[in-house]
Structure 1
């Protein structure tokens, strides 16, 4: 289900000229199913670090690329990961929810798909990512997926969840190899306080390098300009602060 992208809009979010933006479709296969990812990077200043970014529950689409570009920035190559399969592109909330519910019920499958996406990213020759300079992040469901990648023991330097669910059927952070940053909207109805506390306990028990930032005026979907429902809404100030926090986090880890 390949499609054309609005490169000018993505380049604008990255703060680079449209002519300098590389957009590559990357396909990898798991168990006979093709997954179609999108690699973004600045051709004028090829990055040596890379961030795998998992979209919200709608998966790969123009807005997902723009949100990833806005949040992560042009300092890193961005691999927008497909964890659904290239023929699965939800067109409404019900379709999207059905896809993520199935994956959230099968965390081993989610971890398998996340690790396959990471390996596809590592295999790219058009960007020369230095050893130890891979990270992961995700938005909403993507935040959950990024944390599951970390929990699987994947070799990533750092993981960031932006307004993602923090729960897991097996709360054991002992396999996590890198640092963890959670950017959480306090008004998020899908992540209640007991879930936050359980995550704190999980990270603390594993004695990880972890951070949790609570944004008091934000709910779920605070990076999504189209979100406008009670508890699930865009919050420009928080989106900007979260982007700065993510950039500082990876800047420190990749220095």
Structure 2
């Protein structure tokens, strides 16, 4: 399916431009709106990987947006820099969620996007972001995380309406199985409908083809696993199809 892409600029109340990246199926139009999926990138920012994910979602028939939560389109391949930016936005998680809500609203205002039929997927740091968006009660029907950080801004409660799919690597040294168990308890307490898939021989970052190179360069325990990447992607598409149509 052919697609079209463009930048979506959202301006925060203090004048920071969030430069997100949108991909739409060619047939999505003002008269033919399609379900939308928000993509929260890894801590690197809106680099090639989330852009590719967004384009793949458009080819699968969804409107998709890679969210620029750092602002000004900042991106990096340096883990120390990425960590600094991530820590900065985590110091003010209300601001981070306000940015996500702003992007969600601007994205769902596009006539080609069905704002009543939204999902979100997140990678690593982005996994925390999309779970927190659901914890905040944003209008998401389905949330999927890949090697995501499950640490909550605040625990899920009855505002959490989204169904959840978690793809976790068994060999992830950055997000432990204990953290995933904690997420299960949290979601159980809030009666959230969730599925957790654990992939063998998969490390943190297993969906990102650049993970090995990034890991080696930055001395971080990352690794790409093609089998787990493909299986988790296919499972996510099935999950979105079941919940968004």
Same fold (TM over 0.5): yes
Asked whether the equivalents of residues 57 and 63 of structure 2 are also in contact (C-alpha less than 8 Å), the reply is no
Structure 2 distance, partners of 1:204, 1:128, is 32
Structure 1 alignment gaps of length 5 or more: 1-15
Match of 2:233 among 226, 236, 243: 243
* Structure 2 match to 1:227: 211
**3-state SS, counterpart of residue 213 of structure 1:** strand
The reply on whether 1:21 has 2:3 as its aligned counterpart is yes
Give runs of aligned pairs for residues 160-199 of structure 1, distance below 5 A.
160-199=144-183
The reply on whether 1:143 has 2:127 as its aligned counterpart is yes
Structure 1 distance, partners of 2:166, 2:59, is 18
Please report the TM-score for the alignment, with normalisation by the length of structure 1: 0.86
Asked whether the equivalents of residues 41 and 74 of structure 1 are also in contact (C-alpha less than 8 Å), the reply is no
Structure 2 alignment gaps of length 5 or more: none
Asked whether the equivalents of residues 71 and 243 of structure 1 are also in contact (C-alpha less than 8 Å), the reply is no
Give runs of aligned pairs for residues 1-255 of structure 1, distance below 5 A.
16=1, 20-31=2-13, 32-44=15-27, 48-70=34-56, 73-125=59-111, 127-129=112-114, 132-228=116-212, 229=215, 231-255=221-245
Give the C-alpha shift of residue 67 in structure 1. Answer: 3.3
Structure 2 distance, partners of 1:235, 1:167, is 24
Cα root mean square deviation, aligned:
1.9
Asked whether the equivalents of residues 131 and 152 of structure 2 are also in contact (C-alpha less than 8 Å), the reply is no
Please report the TM-score for the alignment, with normalisation by the length of structure 2: 0.89
Structure 2 distance, partners of 1:221, 1:206, is 28
Asked whether the equivalents of residues 53 and 68 of structure 1 are also in contact (C-alpha less than 8 Å), the reply is yes
Q: Deviations over 1:166-202 (max 9, x none)?
A: 1125223432111111111111111112211111110
Give the C-alpha shift of residue 80 in structure 1. Answer: 1.1
Give the C-alpha shift of residue 206 in structure 1. Answer: 0.4
Q: Tell me the matched-pair count.
A: 235
Structure 2 distance, partners of 1:112, 1:80, is 16
